[in-house]
Homo-oligomer: A and B are copies of this chain.
Amino acid sequence: MTTDARGERMQYRVAIREAIAEAMREDERVFLMGEDVGRYGGCFAVTLGLLEQFGPERIRDTPLSELAFVGAGIGAALGGMRPIVEVMTGNFSLLALDQIVNNAATLSHMSGGQFAVPLVIRMATGGGLQLAAQHSHSFEGWYAHIPGIKVLAPATVEDARGMLRPALADPNPVLIFEHIRLYSMMEAAPNGPVSVDVHSATVRRGGRDVSLITYGGSLHKAMEAGEALAAEGIEAEVVDLRVLRPLDTATIIDSVRRTHRAVVVDEGWRSGGISAEVSARIMEHAFYELDAPVQRVAAAEVPIPYPAHLEGAALPSVAGIVECARRLVRGDTGNG
């Protein structure tokens, strides 16, 4: 899927690991802290082996204290370090939300620009592993509501490998959401020190009939849907948002100008999700370009249940995307 990656194929989790290791080698101020990042090797095995390479001061296992260690990450950033804080999953990050929203996001502005918070927070997000109602939710769209933080969602191995460097170079708090279903994905990744653009969305597949606008774990469903639609003669363009805050409105609008139809695909709950924001922006910037109303394919508004068939029904599916896009292109949106 990556377009210009020339390196060897690797797992998404390994790409993140290599990015962390590279950052730690290059900058002494960088360190990683979080629950079980060291001796355990990371709850999703992302950080396996890093403790042995960098030692327990820089690969720092924390107690179960999300609020305090995220806050300590903010403090350490203020104190001149470049912390990478891992929070195991988005659901657990709610425990640290006060520090993220009330401190990390506000300190620069309310101090009149005296302080920067060069902090990276990584967390796993999303469903699909049957982890049920306290482990499976997608809060990245929610975080994207907060001024003062940036939100990244790597959907490819290349992005997983390349987003960390610019995130660490950023003087602002950057949150990186890693979809749990992607950790084992293998793709070609670039070699050596790499940095990808962290300002723009990108078109992952060209098409003229409909734009499928998505990010993260759902990108792969959208790409599959694109294939299936192509087989029916519908050419879907797939836009990977990549950066959820600040949103790259221009790339979205450009795509809609080409296709005149859009489906937003998001694993977050529908109401008030990032899919609503994308729809609203298209409304504001490309209303007169639209041949039909923008549609959303998002998670059902339920706590994600455990059994596979119910979880599957709750999350966006390839079939659901295909059907929605097909109806949209065929002019059947049921809109009064």
**Which residues of A pack against B, CB within 8 Å?**
67, 91-92, 94-95, 97-98, 101-102, 105-106, 109-110, 132-134, 141-142, 144-148, 245-247, 253, 257, 268-269, 271-277, 279-280, 282-290, 292-296, 301-303, 305, 333, 335-336
Chain copies in the assembled complex: 2
Highest count of chain B CB atoms <10 Å: which of A110, A144, A246: A110
Pairs of residues from A and B, 3 with the lowest C-beta to C-beta distance, nearest first: A287-B293, A145-B272, A279-B280
**Alpha-carbon separation in the docked complex, A245 to B109 (Å):** 31
Q: Measured between alpha carbons, how far is A287 from B290 in the docked complex, in Å? A: 10
A272–B144 alpha-carbon span in the complex (Å): 7
Q: Which residues of B contact A148 (CB under 8 A)?
A: 303
Cα A282 to Cα B287 in complex, Å, equals 12
Contact check, B293 vs A283: say whether CB atoms are below 8 A apart.
yes
Q: How far is the CB of A147 from chain B (nearest CB, A)?
A: 4
Question: Do the beta carbons of B287 and A292 come within 8 Å of each other?
Answer: yes
Q: Which residue on B lies nearest to A279, using beta carbons?
A: B280
Q: How far does the alpha carbon of A302 sit from the alpha carbon of B105 in the complex, in Å? A: 9
Contact A102 B91 (CB under 8 A): yes
CA distance A269 to B277 in the complex (A): 12
Given contacts A94-B101, A142-B142, A279-B280, are A147 and B302 in contact (CB under 8 A)? yes
In the bound assembly, the distance between CA atoms of A336 and B98 in angstroms comes to 39
Tell me whether A272 and B283 are in contact (CB under 8 A): no
B145 in contact with A271 (CB, 8 Å): yes
Provide the bound-state CA to CA distance between A323 and B268, in Å: 34
Write the chain B residue with the least CB distance to A288.
B335
A145 to chain B: which residues have CB within 8 Å?
142, 268-269, 271-273
Shortest Cβ distance from A22 into chain B, in angstroms? 32
A134 lies within 8 A of B280 (CB): no
B-side contacts of A296, CB under 8 Å: 280, 284
Cβ of A274: which chain B residues have Cβ within 8 Å of it?
Answer: 272
A238 vs chain B, min Cβ distance (A): 20
**Who on chain B is nearest to A101 by CB?**
B94
Determine which of B269, B276, B305 lies in contact with A279 in the assembled complex, contact meaning CB atoms within 8 Å: B276
